[in-house]
Amino acid sequence: MHRTSATLTDGRSIHYYDERPGRPRVDVPRRPAPAAAPVSSLRRDPTTGEWVLMAPHRRRRSALGPHCPLCTDSPRDVTEVPGGPYDVAVFDNRFPALGGAAATGAADGTGLLASAPAPGRCEVISYASDHGTTLARLPLSRVRTVIHAWADRTEELNRLDGVEQVVCFENSGAQVGASLEHPHGQIYAYPWIPDRFRLMHETARREHEAGEGCVFCRVLQTEEDVERRVVARSAHWTAFVPFAARWPYEVHLYARRHVPDLAALEEEERADLADLYRSVLRRFETVLDRPLPFMAVWVQAPARQDRELAHLRAQVFSDHWGSGAVKRMAAGELGAGAFVSETDPERVAEALRRAPVTT
């Protein structure tokens, strides 16, 4: 793997991950900076203690249009990825939800209405210079390159002061919020541990202190023993529909070795992951008569605390049942947080097992 880094004209960083050496000097695009510097902040909900990320400037972010900012043949004042065709590219988000002009300074208030700066980093990862593909349709060598980039960025971002949690994720399809059709994902380096991840870490800590060991290892072993919800399995990874699945289609992909994050994977584990992860994404494309829009998120260890309790895993899910049928969050779910699942995990697992992975 060959990494080449450069600085764009507005000061943002870009990193190329190529499978072969020889990338020429990067000619950065002459794209003007945003008219106003991004301003993000954190506000704490006094009724729950949860932090809410305030980023109103995100409404101006790039969206579907005549020219794609991730394509190298777009006009020079549009493309974010100069330098000709690339394998994988990672660059600082032009409209970041974290960082920006309000990312320094002290918290404002410790009473009922508390706010704080929102440091951290938001990066975009483009999986290929080819606009008309998906991660599921890339060759295995390219999927391995994507995994290498995820791992490299995780390791580097974890070192930054103030970063508590690095999350690699993807929204695939406009129906689930993707603003660009080009195959890509995002990497967020949060200055706090988001609440759902915090709950997972707290559960892991309680189980460990009770002498039960790793709760995720136990879940994995149980699912492998039961087998009914297992979708696919390899030497180093197991993909299964979770026992308490929330979404119409949902697969969790666990490392079979207790490992904290992507950066800690050995080369053999990364190669095996590329094969199994791609097969899971292909099943989401083929299980119905049209590809399912989906969301995917990697759950990794926090940057600094309880890393030994974490167990690397991915969650891939879709809120679509099929053509025109969508799981809509009701008031009780959004307002009370009481999720109502309308899925049958065992039948979903069977359908995904039967879905073709080679087409």
Active site residues: 184
33 neighbors 54 (Cβ within 8 angstroms):
no
Residue 79, helix vs strand vs coil: coil
C-alpha torsion angle, residues 260, 264, 267, 270 (rounded to 10): 40
Look up residue 122 and give its two tokens. Answer: 């938001």
Please provide residue 299's backbone torsions phi and psi, each rounded to the nearest 5 degrees: -100, 115
Residue 92 pairs in a beta bridge with 123
**CA 89 – CA 66 distance, rounded (Å):** 21
The DSSP 8-state label assigned to residue 214 in this structure reads: -
**CA 334 – CA 302 distance, rounded (Å):** 26
**CA 174 – CA 279 distance, rounded (Å):** 22
Look up residue 254 and give its two tokens. Answer: 């666990």
**CA 67 – CA 264 distance, rounded (Å):** 38
**CA 329 – CA 335 distance, rounded (Å):** 10
Longest dimension (CA), the chain: 59
**CA 215 – CA 221 distance, rounded (Å):** 10
Q: Which of 95, 122, 114 is nearest to 39 (CA)?
A: 95
Give residues with Cβ within 8 angstroms of 198, minimum separation 6.
Answer: none
346 neighbors 228 (Cβ within 8 angstroms):
yes
